[in-house]
């Protein structure tokens, strides 16, 4: 699988999860509206709040991504080194 194909799969999965979440919210809203006599906020306003809270954060720069990858690599190498030393005992 190429990186482009992986990216397409990730986007499709994210979209599917968003639709599933909205469907679950809609179902909960309808169940609550049928079981309660209280006035509920409109479904559109609830879904808009969820949409706004789930907006992606600002994209990271290439330098930030490289620094993160280097940090993760260093952490992984230090942990794997500790495991090898404990296995030698």
pLDDT at 89 over 70: no
For residue 30, which of 7, 46, 14, 8 has the smallest C-alpha distance? 46
Residue 33's closest CA among 46, 21, 14? 46
27 and 52, same domain (yes or no):
yes
pLDDT: is 31 or 16 the higher one?
16
The answer on 68 and 41 residing in a single domain is no
Same domain for 36 and 3: yes
Domain that holds residue 13: 1-56
Give the C-alpha separation, 89 to 84, whole Å.
9
What is the dihedral sign for C-alpha 38, 44, 46, 49? negative
Average model confidence (pLDDT) for the chain? 82
Do 12 and 39 reside in the same domain of the chain? yes
């Amino acid at each position: 699988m190429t990186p482009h194909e992986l990216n397409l799969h990730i986007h499709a999965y994210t979209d599917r999860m968003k639709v599933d979440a909205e469907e679950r919210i809609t179902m909960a809203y309808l169940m609550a509206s049928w079981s309660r006599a209280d006035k509920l906020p409109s479904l559109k306003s609830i879904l808009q709040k969820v949409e706004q809270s789930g907006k992606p954060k600002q994209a990271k720069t290439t330098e930030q991504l490289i620094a993160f990858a280097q940090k993760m690599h260093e952490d992984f190498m230090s942990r794997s080194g500790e495991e090898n030393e404990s296995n030698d005992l």
